[in-house]
Structure 1
Amino acid sequence: MKRIIYFKKFLFAIIFIPLISINSQDLTAFNMIGKKLSAVIADYGKPVHHDKSNLEMECVFYKEKDYQMVFVANQKGVYHVQGFKIFNDKNSAHKTMNKLLADCSKKGFKIDTLNVSEFDLRAKNIEVNISMFENPHSHKYEIKIDAFKREG
């Protein structure tokens, strides 16, 4: 009987722990601001598309079933990150949003509540807008992130 319990715990850990790190990585992509694009590629892997058509900037695009991310960089590093993550229900999205805000607060971000589902976060040289909403077409919930490097 103990073996079955240990096996279930082991199986749970194998399945659940990678999902936690994936969720965390998707929603904290703004931590890449200021870093070189090579660091983004090292963390996120090969992008779906890498746009080098503008000499002043490069864009890399990532897309999976439940999230999309765009990183924009120049010679100094990443200066803009946009993305969203999809959740099947409001409760999952709300829990993830609360955890994200708590983690950001611990890391020194100042949080300004715009309304019940939209927040502005500020830290040294980073400005982030995080919002949660229901997609009217899919009836799923999304958390959207828009982050910029602040000058000065």
Structure 2
Amino acid sequence: MKPLIVVGGVAGCGKTTLATALAQALGVAFRDGDDLHPTANKAKMAAGHPLTDEDRAPWLAACAAQLAAWGDAGGVISASALKRAYRDTLYAAHPAVRYVLIRITPELATARAAARPGHFWPASLTLSQFAILEEPGADEPALQVEAIWPTDQQVAAVQGFLR
């Protein structure tokens, strides 16, 4: 059985970069969770409004469905999954699901989000994600890495965690 990993964190933390590198290192599929957001969610965020739990429900269901579809073949998805309840939905998709939170300061995350041309996420929403962030509990199958670490150091930390 290959690993099923959710790479999470606030906007601008480097989810897609780490998730892509992990998928390549582990020889599994990659999916950008942003691609699973309904059009209405993307429009709401682009207009500068944070999503509600109700808005996120279909997106979380789509992310969980992707994890379940990969199953034992493994895969890596980038999806913020900032609250424990969101992660519980993803953990329920398959027993092998693991979560990696990329930790970052609000200042660096906002600066990185502002520097992404053409992305639907406005940097002005970044602080709203810190307001809802619930760090993984000791009872979760989760690891935290730092955004300031080089990608290869993050990948090595996750590989060590999976052993």
Q: More relative contact order in 1 or in 2 (CA 8 Å, sep 6+)?
A: 2
The answer to which structure has the higher strand fraction is 1
**Band the TM-score falls in, shorter-chain normalisation:** under 0.3
**TM-score, with structure 2 as normaliser:** 0.26
Q: Indicate the structure (1 or 2) with the bigger Cα radius of gyration.
A: 1
